[in-house]
Chain A
């Protein structure tokens, strides 16, 4: 691509190429629907200008057949593109079950990444080429948005909630990451880079980046230092629910509802334990809101997930509920 006058962005995934085709195809339709209007406006303005000798007999002032056709036909043509676009979009919400999951924490004005092996990065993200990667994202403060133009994907990153996004980059290279939701003073500096690496380079990077234990074992250490095990260990004197095998299982609540113990539930039970109290247990757990950073919450959740899994662990990620 011409470096001086870029016209079309690089496409680094199959999804990106499909979005480009959608855009191109729809542009052709728009041109086909509009060109006659522009040509006729100019033609009529010239031919029927005041004082011209054009024939002005039998002037129409309405025609139901014409009205119906220019109402219905363009709409039906547009619907074909609507279906294709909606399918692509819904697919963005269905990450393959065996995706590599990377946790993302956004904060004013940086991106933090936590790999499952415990590697941590800021503003740079290294991923393998040709592999499904799912980002599980949350924000420490305001709303941000994770935008990678080369992948044609974008997802807002919300405080207090996990949103996710997945991609499969098919072209090794370095691509821009930009925050696209206005997030305060240095919004335009909240940028980063995605390094899409060949498998060999990726393995070497994982090695080089090193880590003191994977995410779950870092979570275990936190679990002990924060004193969680004081109540939640089987031999504890306090009556608190056991957390073994909790992830993915249905949890009956004190108010009669039943929720699934997913990432969001585990996180919320730490920062707002009185919101969804498990049935049969007194609501005695103190809140950890404001005391544990989102990164540490991710580690704790990773540890809880590692304690054996319930039957539905591999179920696709739940749609965020309002």
Chain B
């Protein structure tokens, strides 16, 4: 990166210029450099998981003539799930943009525990290496949900190694969450009251609470699973005196809140993008901020909606159904507030805005189909079908990944100091939106028609929807690759960004792009609420 031909004065004093050796990156405790390390590593896993997805879609074009064996197919979708959930989605926005931006947004020099932050990345990297080992050794065939007793007694794949990878990477989550919580409490600049925090910081605060409270439960669950598989300790397998539903309760106690780990940071990003694009204070600041906390809290009480047909008590199911409708309320509040923010705004139709709109559209469809799934009798029919697949991809890909790309396009000039092509950015955003809908909308219809998930061989009457879905996936693949071309191109050929290319409010836009090692040339003092538009441009240079 230091090989950029014309270095601007900002770039010469930036965190990027603080050293160009491998050592200066791998031993850096600068939150901005660690964010870049995360960005590179999660991008690598995004391509691994994406390649598995591509293979799945290619294989499902025909109902019976396949490239993969049944076993190979099972291992492919398991890999796709494990990699995308734990090695891309969970760390995606928090570990990259959260890491980079939280200190900048609150006016701090770094996170509270810089060395712990570096350790988090190393733990992530070790977990990642174990995952690569699992992949090379032949994979695992349980699905990313590791249901017992299939995973403890019957599966032939590398279950223990896969569980170890997820177990390890969980500690990276816990330490990152801990670091964020302490940072937000203790390192806010003078004048940065809780009521002046950007929504991005609020949503990361809520996310961190979930990371710290839920992830240990996953670790315990995977440890028990391994104990049963290795030592035949009867915990989940009824043949050994265990209870298979206990595993599901424990797994979803983590994995449902994990969905909010993926989506809350994205909601924080979209709040920033909408306000900055509209150049207007966010509508209903306190409603949006407290909605994040409400989601984090109620999100812990809805795990049982994954188990309506599992054999859990029907009366418990009724309560879980009700709570699942309750947890949708704060999400709906956010969507309405974003819409209201645009009213009488001054809206730049740039890539960050388009990604935010893609997020809102896709997340809304994902959320509403989530309500359908929360309705008990509907869930009985569509549970474990493509309807569920479509629903959670609308949330996790349409929502979380669109948010990730929105963040990438909004803060790229801040992170690298360079501007990318806005035209290509707009094209990518529109292609992602179109490709995504073509890939996943047919799957709602497939699900209601009765196509179960994780089916390699499927009835021929479903083929037309699978072909549509695979066609969409190929558009989506191109659309996701496109940004890597023009963003990398911008590193060498992009125009210098200046401090505040979007005319946005927020402390991070008052410091040079890329920011200096210490983040701010003079320690900031905050005198205004968040989203104080119109922005008075700081003197550049």
Residues of A in contact with B (beta carbons under 8 Å apart): 3-9, 15, 18-19, 22-23, 26-27, 30, 33-34, 37-38, 40-41, 44-45, 48-50, 54-63, 66-67, 70-71, 74-75, 78-79, 81-82, 84-86, 88-90, 92-93, 108, 141-143, 145, 147, 149-150, 152-156, 158-161, 163, 176, 178-189, 272, 289-290, 319-322
A4 to B147, CA, bound (A): 36
6 contacts between A and B (CB under 8 A): A23-B372, A34-B368, A82-B325, A160-B238, A182-B74, A188-B456
- Chain B residues whose CB sits within 8 angstroms of the CB of A37 once the complex forms: 335-336, 339, 360, 364
A244 to B235, CA, bound (A): 35
A34 to B335, CA, bound (A): 10
Interface status of B308 (Cβ within 8 A of chain A)? yes
- Chain B residues whose CB sits within 8 angstroms of the CB of A23 once the complex forms: 372, 378, 448
Contact: B287 with A45, CB < 8 Å?
no
Contact: A26 with B375, CB < 8 Å?
yes
- Which of A38, A187, A290 is the one whose CB lies under 8 Å from B455? A187
Chain B positions 255-308 with a Cβ under 8 Å from a chain A Cβ: 278-287, 308
Given contacts A48-B278, A82-B325, A289-B239, contact A141 B149 (CB under 8 A): yes
- Chain B residues whose CB sits within 8 angstroms of the CB of A56 once the complex forms: 344-346
Contact: A185 with B70, CB < 8 Å?
yes
Give 1 or 0 for each of B307-335: 1 = CB within 8 Å of chain A CB: 01111111101100110011011001101
A145 to B149, CA, bound (A): 14
Contact: B283 with A62, CB < 8 Å?
yes
Most chain B CB atoms below 10 A, which of A15, A153, A188 = A188
Residues of B in contact with A (beta carbons under 8 Å apart): 70-71, 74, 141-143, 145, 147, 149-150, 153-155, 237-239, 241, 243-245, 278-287, 308-315, 317-318, 321-322, 325-326, 328-329, 332-333, 335-337, 339-340, 342-349, 353, 357, 360-361, 364, 368, 371-372, 374-378, 380-381, 383-385, 445, 448-450, 452-459, 461-462, 464
A60 to B285, CA, bound (A): 12
Top 4 A-B pairs ranked by shortest CB distance? A149-B450, A160-B238, A89-B376, A88-B377
- Chain B residues whose CB sits within 8 angstroms of the CB of A189 once the complex forms: 70, 457
Contact: B239 with A160, CB < 8 Å?
yes
B343 → chain A closest CB, angstroms:
6
Given contacts A149-B449, A159-B238, contact A70 B372 (CB under 8 A): no
Contact: A181 with B344, CB < 8 Å?
no
A17 to B454, CA, bound (A): 27
- Which of B241, B326, B345, B384 is the one whose CB lies under 8 Å from A145? B384
A156 to B469, CA, bound (A): 28
Contact: B454 with A187, CB < 8 Å?
yes
Given contacts A26-B371, A38-B361, A185-B74, contact A178 B452 (CB under 8 A): yes
- Which of B141, B287, B325, B450 is the one whose CB lies under 8 Å from A184? B141
Contact: B381 with A161, CB < 8 Å?
no
- Which of B155, B245, B286, B318 is the one whose CB lies under 8 Å from A158? B245
A165 → chain B closest CB, angstroms:
9
Closest to A157 in B: B311
Given contacts A3-B461, A82-B325, contact A187 B349 (CB under 8 A): no
- Chain B residues whose CB sits within 8 angstroms of the CB of A81 once the complex forms: 375
A126 to B126, CA, bound (A): 54
Contact: A176 with B450, CB < 8 Å?
yes
A302 to B287, CA, bound (A): 60
A280 to B306, CA, bound (A): 43
Given A145-B309, A182-B145, 16 more contacts at CB 8 Å? A23-B372, A37-B364, A40-B342, A45-B347, A56-B346, A63-B284, A79-B325, A86-B376, A90-B318, A145-B384, A149-B450, A154-B380, A159-B237, A179-B452, A182-B143, A188-B70
Given contacts A152-B381, A156-B310, contact A66 B340 (CB under 8 A): yes
A47 to B360, CA, bound (A): 19
Contact: A6 with B321, CB < 8 Å?
no
Contact: B244 with A159, CB < 8 Å?
yes
- Chain A residues whose CB sits within 8 angstroms of the CB of B461 once the complex forms: 3, 6
Contact: A89 with B314, CB < 8 Å?
yes
A321 to B316, CA, bound (A): 11
- Which of B282, B283, B284, B372 is the one whose CB lies under 8 Å from A26? B372
A28 → chain B closest CB, angstroms:
12
Contact: A50 with B349, CB < 8 Å?
yes
Closest to B152 in A: A142
Contact: B384 with A90, CB < 8 Å?
no
A113 → chain B closest CB, angstroms:
20
A37 to B313, CA, bound (A): 38
A161 to B381, CA, bound (A): 22
A153 to B283, CA, bound (A): 44
Contact: A48 with B141, CB < 8 Å?
no
Contact: B377 with A59, CB < 8 Å?
no
- Chain B residues whose CB sits within 8 angstroms of the CB of A6 once the complex forms: 449, 461-462
